[in-house]
Structure 1
Amino acid sequence: LWRPPDFGIIKLNFDASFIQEKKLATTAVLARDYKGEVVGAETYLFEDVVNAFVAEARACERALIFASMMCFRRLAVEGDSLSLDMLFDEVTYNFVPRVVNDAAHILALEGRRRRVYGSWVNGVPDSMRIVVMKDRLTW
């Protein structure tokens, strides 16, 4: 049974409809308040989606983007994708100043410079290596 969020919190329910043959996904977000009243909703179309997991992940992403556009500040997010839920044991999000997040920022700049997808398991681009070493010295 669906339950409303606590007072002051907006509950976002998200889902995706995926058509494998066409690689199309339509995502949906429904925002409700503590009385269960709809305070916003959205559907969004994605092309070139490789599988249902990615479709559900994009639906979750759209839920957060929608909440931001609507200026919702306190959220509860729900979806029926067990694969998303089971993927991680725990997720936390913390804001950190840019100086603390410098290594990730440098990597984003490197990706923009290269204009290509990249993934690193053993080692990182040279542009990041110095920043990562500085991070390790401050522990």
Structure 2
Amino acid sequence: IWKPPEGFKVKANLDVSFNHLTYKAVAGVLIRNGDGLIMAAGIYPFESVTDSIVAEAKACLSAMILLNDLGFRAVCFDSVEFRYVPRQSNQAKHTLAAEGRRFEGIRVWVEEALVGVEAVVDRERQRVTSSF
């Protein structure tokens, strides 16, 4: 289950869809505030990616650039440890990366995301607020 960042930070969640046959990857970056509201979302396609670790590193870099471009300074990351997180733990970031395969080029949304992602975020927010 998605957990909000502490204090006045925003949290960047990342997920990567990697195809080892084509060496292509698509990263989904989802930035939310402590209330779970979407601050920004981005889809980043990558080519000539050798493995999933490189894809994750590229996703982290893309997230840091997006955070910097939008002026966010108090940030926490969810994916910097390069550890496996079950899909059901954060369905929103997985949905963003999966739907990102439909697009060519980088796509960024500010204070919104794809409709399917927004629906998942709303469900996750309800779960988080009901657990307090």
The TM tier, using the shorter chain, reads: 0.5 to 0.7
Q: Secondary structure at the match of 1:29?
A: strand
- How much does 1:6 deviate? 2.0
Aligned length: 83
Q: Secondary structure at the match of 2:78?
A: strand
Question: Equivalent pairs: percent with the same residue?
Answer: 34
**CA-based RMSD:** 1.5
2:50 aligned partner = 50
**Any gaps of 5 or more consecutive residues in structure 1?**
84-139
2:83 aligned partner = 82
Q: Which amino acid aligns with 2:22?
A: K
- How much does 1:69 deviate? 1.1
Normalised to the residue count of structure 1, the TM-score between the two structures is 0.56
Structure (1 or 2) with the larger CA radius of gyration: 1
Matches for 1:1-139 after TM superposition, within 5 Å: 1-79=1-79, 81-82=82-83
Distance 2:77 2:25 in 1: 20
Kept in 2, the 8 Å contact 1:31–1:41? The answer is yes
Q: Which amino acid aligns with 2:68?
A: S
1:112-139 per-residue CA deviation (whole Å, 9 max, x = no partner) reads: xxxxxxxxxxxxxxxxxxxxxxxxxxxx
Distance 2:73 2:15 in 1: 21
Q: Which amino acid aligns with 1:39?
A: M
Normalised to the residue count of structure 2, the TM-score between the two structures is 0.59
Kept in 2, the 8 Å contact 1:31–1:38? The answer is yes
Distance 2:25 2:83 in 1: 18
1:30-59 per-residue CA deviation (whole Å, 9 max, x = no partner) reads: 000010111100001111000111011111
Q: Which amino acid aligns with 1:64?
A: M
